[in-house]
Structures are given as structure tokens and as C-alpha cells.
Amino acid sequence: MKTIIRPANPDSIQQATELLREGKLVAIPTETVYGLGADALNPEAVKRIFAAKGRPAHHPLIVHIPDKAALTDWAIEIPEIAWKLAEHFWPGPLTIVLKKHPDVPMEVTGGQNTIALRVPNHPVALNLLKAFGGGIAAPSANRFCRISPTQASHVEVELGDKVDMILDGGACQVGLESTIVDLSGEEIKLLRPGLISKSEIEALLQMKLALPENNEQIHAPGMMEVHYAPDTTTILCTAEQIVNIQKGITFQHQYKLGVIAYFSEIVGDANTQVVTMPKDANAYAHDLYSTLRKLDNPEVDIILVEQPPQTEIWQAVNNRLNKAAKKYTDFESAEKNDSNILADIFYVLATWN
């Protein structure tokens, strides 16, 4: 296959600009994850994003803009707090949802009257946005419900030749998607946790953020129950459970385990590949998706993740892990319904404790 990955430099950025003007798709590096970009004012180009990802058309996209001054091209009735957040956090991993400008095509916003906007903090994305001179609609550059890409090579694996060019800007610094704050309604809501925490935003705005209600999930598909998931079954466990599963299941059933350890020193063996993660939450976030990708391979039957602490600095990591992983209640129903690896694990945990 002809590789479409191009190192980011003035030439490739110029070429990417031309592709965007022709309505083509360009994968772009940002500080959070790679985005699958198209001209946000070209409905046909935007439809190609949905087709490439296999994403339902009613799931809205984020529009990336070059600076906060461009906000008025995309949104109306912009409240003072939006300017304050933009001033403080942009360029950076914060997306704000506002009432949309009437010129923005409904294809971009999934038919909604609101729009999600962000100025990314990555020199390649910013240079491209400046050269292009418009807004770039870009969801994460992965197939629908899969792990977001944090390196150019991940995009190639996810989307292959469905994308016209992949601009390689190196590994993404943050590694998790942006924090999303909805400023379009009466209440200010945190729709998705990220590197910029709820309390940092609350401290800046001097007000409390609300959490979204369950029935609003469709507005933010990132909030769906299963999302960001590897193909390999992934479960969240305590270190003790991991050790018990390792003893019981690899011995009795010859399953191969992938373990993402955090605090405990879990020892690998012929049937167990162990990755020990950084103890710092941001460093862990940076490595999380590439680690899940690495263990999501045919040599691993199940991925066991040692649950990180339940404190605020771990909120974004725990949010993504909860979406990638099955919970203990799933094992119980697995036991009743069918015989599979979860049922075997349930049995092992019940007998080894």
C-alpha cells in the first residue's frame, strides 16, 4: 500500500491546504489526538468524514479554528465566560459548545443548533489552520467507537486509504481527547473530562459546572457506554484480582493475558504480557491509548487493567477506561448466558478468593 503519511513541513502543509480546499480529507496532529480533518464549510467534504469513520450522521463534529477571534465566524450570542475560557486555555485541549452561526452547515453539527469549537495547541495544526484560513472539522481519526490515534501510524491502521493525507506531527503530547464544556444553555456543563479539569474551569469562572443528564448522551457520542474500545475484551480489576486471574486462568485455560499495571509490580510470564504505566496521571494519559493498541493484538485473549485511584486528577483516565472496559457485573451475566472468557474469569475469581 502506498503510504499517505507525510512528515509535516511547509511543503506538506501547503499540499494539505490544497487538499482541504478540494474537499479532501487530511489527518492532522493535535496535542490531544489525531483528527480527521475536512473543510468545515463544505458539506460534501464533511459527509466524507462520517463515511470514512463509519460514524452516524447525527453525531456532531468539533470545528478547529486558528484563534479566538474566529469564534464570531462560527458562533452567535457568545457569552463573556466563553471569551474568558478561550483567553485562558486556548490554544489548548478545551472544546467549548456555543450556539451555532447560521452559516455553519448542519452536516457539521449533526443537525443541532450548537457547535463545538477549539483552537488546538500544536504547531502543525496551527500552521495548517492559518494557511487554510478557515475552520477544519475534525473528529478523532479512528473508526467509530475505536481507540483514538495518538500517532500518525495509528491513523493509517484505522483509516488506511480512506484519508487523502496524514500529516505526521509526532506523538500527541496529551494523549486523551479535549475537555468539553457546554456554554449553549442555561447551565454550564462538563460534557467530557480531559486534561483541563472541572475544578480548574470552576476556579477560573468562579462557578460550579453541572454534569450532563443521561438523556443528553446523543449530544456527545464520546459519552456513550462503549467507546474508545479495543477489539480485545478489556476489564478493570484490582491488582489482587489480576494476580488471581493470572494464576487460575492461564494455568487452567491457557488464555493469554495483557496486563496494564499501574501501582503493583505484576510479573509477566509466558502467558502474560505486562506493561507498567507511569504513576503520574498525565504521563499515564499520554501512554494509555498506545498501550491499549499495543496489547490489542491476536496474541492477547484479554486485557486486564489495574484500576487507577478514583481522584480528580485521574478523572479523564478513569472516564476513558470505564468506556473501554467491562465491569464485574458483565462477568456475572456472562456466566449465566454463555461460556466465554468472562465466564471463565468469573469462575476463577470466585474460586481463588
Cα–Cα distance, 31 to 261 (Å, whole number): 25
> Applying CB under 5 A, which part among 9-17, 35-43, 132-140, 337-345 lies near Mg ion?
132-140
Per rule CB under 5 A, is residue 319 in the interface with Mg ion? Answer: no
Residue in 140, 184, 291, 318 binding Mg ion, rule: CB under 5 A: 140
Cα–Cα distance, 149 to 94 (Å, whole number): 18
Cα–Cα distance, 140 to 30 (Å, whole number): 10
Select the binding partner of residue 138 from Mg ion, ligand TXA, none (C-beta < 5 to 8 A, by kind).
Answer: ligand TXA
Neighbours of 160 (CB within 10 A): 11
Strand partners, 259: 274, 304
Per rule CB under 6 A, is residue 62 in the interface with ligand TXA? Answer: yes
Kindly state the number of chain residues that form the binding site for ligand TXA, as judged by CB under 6 A.
30
Which three cell numbers, joined as nine digits, stand for 66? 486558528
Per rule CB under 6 A, is residue 180 in the interface with ligand TXA? Answer: yes
Residue in 12, 30, 273, 290 binding ligand TXA, rule: CB under 6 A: 30
Query: Closest approach of Cβ 10 to ligand TXA, in Å?
Result: 22
Footprint on residues 192-221 left by ligand TXA (CB under 6 A): 192, 219-221
Q: What is the dihedral of CA 159, 39, 32, 110, to 10 degrees?
A: -80
Residue showing cell 451555532: 100
Residue 111 gets the label, from left (phi > 0), alpha (psi -120 to 50) or beta, of left
Query: Closest approach of Cβ 228 to Mg ion, in Å?
Result: 7
Per rule CB under 5 A, is residue 109 in the interface with Mg ion? Answer: no
Select the binding partner of residue 17 from Mg ion, ligand TXA, none (C-beta < 5 to 8 A, by kind).
Answer: none
Per rule CB under 6 A, is residue 191 in the interface with ligand TXA? Answer: yes
Footprint on residues 241-270 left by ligand TXA (CB under 6 A): none
Residue in 177, 296, 301, 344 binding ligand TXA, rule: CB under 6 A: 177
Contact 264, 306 (CB under 8 A): yes
Amino acid at 326: K
Beta strand pairing call for 136-137 and 35-39: antiparallel
Nearer to ligand TXA, 114 or 319 (CB): 114
Give the three-class secondary structure for 37: strand
Strand partners, 35: 28, 140
> Applying CB under 6 A, which part among 107-115, 163-171, 271-279, 296-304 lies near ligand TXA?
107-115
Per rule CB under 6 A, is residue 344 in the interface with ligand TXA? Answer: no
Q: Name the DSSP class of 209.
A: P
Query: Closest approach of Cβ 220 to ligand TXA, in Å?
Result: 4
Q: Name the DSSP class of 206.
A: T
Residue in 4, 8, 33, 285 binding ligand TXA, rule: CB under 6 A: 33
CA proximity to 41, closest of 92, 91, 109: 109
Kindly state the number of chain residues that form the binding site for Mg ion, as judged by CB under 5 A.
1
- Run of H or E residues at 264: none
Per rule CB under 6 A, is residue 71 in the interface with ligand TXA? Answer: no
Cα–Cα distance, 303 to 240 (Å, whole number): 15
Residue in 52, 116, 275, 324 binding ligand TXA, rule: CB under 6 A: 116
Which are the contacts of 85, defined by CB distance < 8 A and separation ≥ 6?
94, 96, 181, 183, 201, 204, 205
> Applying CB under 6 A, which part among 113-121, 195-203, 246-254, 262-270 lies near ligand TXA?
113-121
Give the three-class secondary structure for 30: coil
Binding site for Mg ion (CB under 5 A): 140
Binding site for ligand TXA (CB under 6 A): 30, 32-33, 35, 59-62, 95, 97, 109, 112, 114-116, 118, 120, 138-140, 177-178, 180, 182, 191-192, 219-222
